[in-house]
Amino acid sequence: MKIYDTTRTGKLKLSEMSKLLPVNASFLKAAMKKGSRKKLSGEDVKKVLKVYDKDGSGTIEGEELTGLVKDLLAYYCVDYDINDLEDTKLALLSSCDSNSDGRINLRELSLILNIMCDETGLE
């Protein structure tokens, strides 16, 4: 635990704990890098959806959405805590959940990923 407790508090922050768990940020980066300077293909977005849609419902929701947001924050190399995670999740839903169902569908995920590609300017 001492290796991951960078704040030396004896407790792990969410961002520290996430280093113990598998992170798909590299998967996101690879998908977005592939789509740099153009929109991601529908097939690329489907692959990302499949990684996060653990229950096969066709949407990302609940813990699946938490995993996506965690990986998005890790992708941007942001040191975050549980409040940041929840704030980012709410911001993502309020800006991209076009049907306000609390879930991210394929079209909404495409919007998120393509906005990220545009903002990061990956080459």
Q: How far is it, in rounded angstroms, from Cα 107 to Cα 104?
A: 8
Query: Under 8 Å CB-to-CB from 34, ≥6 apart: which residues?
Result: 40, 44
Model confidence pLDDT, tens digit, residues 7-61: 667 665 555 554 544 445 555 665 555 545 456 788 989 999 999 999 999 999 9
Model confidence pLDDT, tens digit, residues 74-104: 877 667 888 888 998 999 999 999 999 999 9
Using CA atoms, how far residue 45 sits from 86, 87, 122, in Å, is: 23, 24, 16
Q: How far is it, in rounded angstroms, from Cα 75 to Cα 85?
A: 13
pTM of the model: 0.69
Using CA atoms, how far residue 78 sits from 45, 47, 61, 121, 122, in Å, is: 23, 24, 22, 18, 17
